[in-house]
């Protein structure tokens, strides 16, 4: 019998006795309910989970500081996440994401310059899953992110050197999608997550300002454990 499959067999006696079948049916249903409640296959449909992943972060910033320069660089990053699954199709999840230090460098003769944008983010998201069989699923993950970034510009020449660092933070719209594979209490995820900087509300003008045109995307492979 395949793992996780339940078969309930009613074996009527040759001479049914009044009241016997009436007792057998509720007892069988009770035993079936106990088995399903304690089955690992069903227990994995709800409960806490946690995991970690690594992958490639891409950061894009258009017209940096009002110039015509567009920043578009990659670096390796990692993430930690945890959540709770209420139903096979619905979970809530929190994520900490470190996007590494995407950087661009240029050297002309004895002069050199570099520009890096380091991004970290905290994310709260809902996860809508579509199970495919007992072990596979695809999912969509909308949410909201709070991000913190450090922009670092460095210039060096034989006669002069300078450094400029700028810290910034804000909120962002977040969306993720991917596929998962689970066996027992362990699982793997392959997913892409993306967030776009949200406009900030200006109380002086009573309107939203969209001063920063920036986004980040993270392609990752993760391992997870279902408690």
Give DSSP secondary structure letters for 109-158: TTEEEEEEEEEEEEEEEEEEEEEETTTEEEEEEEEEEEEEEEEEEEEE-S
Joined together, the tokens standing for residue 25 give 């049916």
Range of the domain at 169: 44-226
Q: Is 30 helix (H, G, I), strand (E, B) or coil?
A: helix
User: Model pTM greater than 0.75?
Assistant: no
Closest CA to 98 of 154, 149, 153, 171: 149
Tell me if 14 is assigned to some domain.
Answer: no
What was the pLDDT predicted at 62?
A: 83
CATH, residue 170: 2.40.160.20
What was the pLDDT predicted at 27?
A: 60
What was the pLDDT predicted at 4?
A: 42
Tell me if 110 is assigned to some domain.
Answer: yes
Tell me if 36 is assigned to some domain.
Answer: no
Tell me if 27 is assigned to some domain.
Answer: no
Tell me if 30 is assigned to some domain.
Answer: no
CB-based contact 40:182 (threshold 8 Å): no
Joined together, the tokens standing for residue 96 give 């900490």
CB-based contact 20:14 (threshold 8 Å): no
Tell me if 49 is assigned to some domain.
Answer: yes
Number of domains in the chain: 1
Segments of the chain with pLDDT less than 70? 1-44, 198-212
Tell me if 53 is assigned to some domain.
Answer: yes
Tell me if 23 is assigned to some domain.
Answer: no
């Amino acid at each position: 019998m395949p793992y996780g499959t339940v078969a309930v067999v009613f074996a009527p006696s040759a001479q049914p006795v009044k009241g016997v079948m009436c007792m057998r049916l509720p007892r069988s249903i009770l035993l079936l309910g106990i088995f399903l409640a304690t089955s690992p296959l069903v227990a994995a449909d709800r409960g806490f989970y946690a995991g970690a992943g690594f992958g490639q972060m891409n950061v894009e910033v258009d017209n940096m500081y009002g110039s015509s320069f567009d920043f578009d660089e990659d670096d390796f990053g990692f993430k930690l996440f945890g959540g709770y699954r209420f139903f096979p199709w619905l979970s809530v999840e929190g994520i900490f994401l470190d996007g590494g230090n995407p950087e661009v460098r240029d050297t002309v003769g004895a002069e050199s310059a570099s520009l890096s944008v380091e991004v970290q983010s905290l994310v709260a998201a809902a996860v809508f899953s579509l199970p495919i069989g007992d072990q596979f699923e695809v999912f969509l993950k909308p949410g909201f992110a709070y991000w913190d970034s450090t922009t670092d510009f460095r210039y060096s020449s034989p006669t002069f050197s300078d450094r400029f660092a700028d810290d910034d933070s804000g909120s962002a719209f977040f969306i993720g999608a991917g596929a998962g594979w689970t066996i027992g209490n362990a699982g793997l995820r392959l997913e892409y997550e993306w967030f776009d900087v949200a406009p900030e509300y200006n109380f002086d003008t009573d309107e939203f300002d969209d001063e920063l045109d920036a986004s980040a995307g993270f392609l990752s492979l993760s391992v997870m454990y279902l408690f």
